[in-house]
Amino acid sequence: MPDDASATQGLAALTERVRFALESGDLDAIGELLDPGARWGAPEGPSDADCHNRDQVIAWWAGARAAGAQAVVTEVRGDRITDIRGFDNRAAAADRAGVPA
């Protein structure tokens, strides 16, 4: 079982990987962070317009980035991204996730 220092170092490394992937626009780096069944969609929950797997998320992100969209990651947990929800602000996202704003 990892100690607190190892867990902190692992979280820092994951945070840096996420930051690099988003800032660089490296789709391969983004893909490495996504679970094969990763989903991306509106905060309300699954819909037909959502992305339902890693390839769809990558394709959506490539198009959004080309159109000038930016993403900000404010929380990381685990080692693979499984679900992404779009919120207008951090307070709304934090409330939905049950974490302090």
pTM more than 0.85: no
Per-10-residue mean pLDDT, the chain, length 101: 77 85 88 90 76 93 86 73 82 83 75
C-alpha span between 69 and 16 (Å, rounded): 20
H-run or E-run covering 91: helix 90-97
Task: List, in order of start, the domains of the chain with CATH numbers.
Answer: 4-97 (3.10.450)
Cα separation values, 46 from 5, 15, 31, 38, 39, Å: 37, 26, 21, 12, 8
Strand 81-85 to 34-41 pairing: parallel
Distances (CA, A) of 9 to 17, 41, 75: 12, 30, 15
